[in-house]
Amino acid sequence: MHPIQHAKTRPDHPAVIMAGSGETITFGEMDTAANRFAQLLRSRGLGHGDAFAVLLENRIEYYTLIWGSQRAGTLLVPVSTRLTAPEISYILKDSGAKLLITSRYFDDVLPGIRKECPDLPVLLMGGESEEDFAAALDAQPAEPISDQLVGGVMLYSSGTTGRPKGIMPKPPEDPDPQAGNPLMAVATMGAGMPSDGSMVYLSPAPLYHAAPIGWSSTVHRLGGTVVMMEKFDPETALAAIEKYKVTDSQWVPTHFVRFLKLPPELRDKYDLSSHKRALHAAAPCPVPIKQAMIEWWGPIVNEYYAGSESIGMTMIHAPDWLTHPGSVGRAIHGKVHVCRPDGSELGPGEDGLIYFENDILPSYHNDDAKTEEAMNVRGWMTLGDIGHLDEDGFLYLTDRKSHMIISGGVNIYPQEIENLLVSHDKVMDAAVIGAPDSDLGEKVVAVVQPMDMADAGEALEQELRDYLAPQLARIKMPKLFDFRPDLPREANGKLYKRELRDEYEAKAKEAAQ
């Protein structure tokens, strides 16, 4: 199954619908545009294995680039829309991109990119003259290129703990662009997605992230329709489920928190009866939050654990989660191991670094040291998460290794504190970090986004301390509460704790001078 085949058998079936505007592209139209883009890549000198970068907001043309690259054998490098010009330029140089495709939406950072990468050709959606993407595409023939080969996607790590690193995918076993891939089996047999073309899938997150680009591409392979949100908003998402009769969706825990913070009258306003399967991942989901979502949406809320590296995956369906609350499931791709620092395995209930054993493992582009750091002595690879297995083989996540706080010699995992904070009625979001402390080494700091900034202050701090006290050991209680109108969080749910830690380290250095 592949969009090329669906274009032949169901050319008028919608492939993508923009949730807000209703703009639609059919499988036939998407196939023609993808052929033109593959031709465009060849005309610009990009051959098999060559990279090009995409810096775009969620817009319908993104799929022209995805499916054009998938038949041109090129490497598509999605770039986060949250990055600055120097950060974007680093990725462009590191990936060896031979072309940048962007839009007028990024006029503020494009001058800086041009300065850093003066020789890089640019095609601009909404551009003019030789840089006009639409004109360049229309000038190409609609016939397939003569040397079609499956392409790849090189994702860059979110850079939450340092410079982002490119994840170089392993070459596929079958070079045929229309060959299947492992995610299709996960989608149908693991997640229960239909393969009869009846699926309507809501994609609320930015396409540059691994999950949206991976799952929505799989939906297209299965002949389904992707309803893509321009930007996530909880009520708009509920309205889209009703309007487009969405059957499947994919979320992150932050989305769930925002859904549950809606007033009851808005939560109950929309008909969600078409909604059959709701996947979520990207971060550990607080148990009370997921419990509330299952109570609201029913036993359709299923979870998986994986990463951009595609080294393995676990999955858990709602009925199993209800008997194993907090788990992210059993392995359905690769084999899970939990290990000590020396690489030896831990027993059930013992926290350690989580590794996946897999025959096919990626490498980090231009960074052998990072690749080696992610491997253990047995050749297994980690995403950097801490957790444990239970007696039944269900995996539980504790936190990221890089997020651990060491205060007074005690290891503290921020995720536990964050999960409690976001469960409070007056808290929209929370980040817990370790800040420099002369006595303890690090002190626990809670950076909190209140539902209403008017509540920020001593009274709310005391209310939160009283709320945490019965559930949290004293050593884990935040020494400082910092109230802010928003947090540096990606739309895909990733929290940029590095920015907060850097800020507090700079304050500590300044105070010491």
* 29 touches 50 (CB < 8 A): no
Q: What is the arithmetic mean of pLDDT over 431-439?
A: 89
Mean per-residue pLDDT for 106-121? 97
- pLDDT band, residue 363 (cuts 50/70/90): confident
Note the pLDDT of residue 66.
98
Number of alpha carbons in the 13 Å side-chain half-sphere of residue 290:
30
Neighbours of 388 (CB within 10 A): 18
What pLDDT sits at residue 334? 92
CB 501 within 8 A of CB 435: yes
Please check whether residue 462 is in contact with residue 478, taking contact to mean a CB–CB distance below 8 angstroms: no
Domains along the chain with CATH numbers:
3-8+24-174 (3.40.50.12780), 404-512 (3.30.300.30)
Given this model, what pLDDT does residue 295 score? 97
Give this prediction's pTM. 0.87
Name the amino acid, one letter, at 303. E
For residue 169, the one-letter residue type is P
* Residue-level pLDDT at 159: 54
Question: Mean pLDDT, to the nearest integer, of 64-89?
Answer: 95
Higher pLDDT pick, 313 / 176: 313
Of 473 and 120, the one with more pLDDT: 120
Q: How far is CA 242 from the centre of its chain?
A: 25
Query: Using alpha carbons only, how large is the chain's radius of gyration in Å?
Result: 23
146's CB contacts (< 8 A; 6+ apart) are none
Read off the pLDDT of residues 446-467 as tens digits, 9 standing for 90 and up.
Answer: 999 999 999 999 999 999 999 9
Kindly provide the residue ranges of all beta strands, DSSP E only, lying in 166-263, ordered along the sequence. 166-168, 200-203, 225-228, 248-251
What is the per-residue pLDDT for 407?
87
Q: Assign 121 to helix, strand or coil.
A: coil
pLDDT at 161: 52
Other residues' Cβ atoms within 10 Å of the Cβ of residue 469: 11
30 or 406: whose pLDDT is higher? 30
pLDDT per residue over 141-172, tens digit each? 999 999 999 999 999 976 555 678 899 887 77
Check residue 158 and give its pLDDT.
Answer: 65
User: Is residue 256 scored above 60 in pLDDT?
Assistant: yes
Across 62-98, b (16+ Cβ under 10 Å) vs e yields bbbbbbbbbbbbbbbbbbbbbbebebbbbbbebbbbb
pLDDT of residue 125: 97
* The predicted structure's pLDDT at residue 180: 73
Least confident of 10-24, 173-187, 260-274: 173-187
* Neighbouring-strand partners of residue 101: 54, 123
Among 365, 336, 367, smallest CA distance to 169 is for: 365
Give the separation between CA 251 and CA 258, rounded to whole angstroms.
11
C-alpha closest to that of 433 among 352, 513, 488: 488
> What value does the mean pLDDT take over residues 183-202?
90
Predicted confidence at residue 186, as pLDDT, reads 84
Collapse the DSSP code of 24 into the 3-class scheme (helix H, G, I; strand E, B; otherwise coil) and give the result: strand
Q: Cα–Cα distance between 79 and 204 in angstroms, integer?
A: 17
Q: How far apart are CA 156 and CA 365, in angstroms?
A: 9
* pLDDT, averaged across the chain: 93
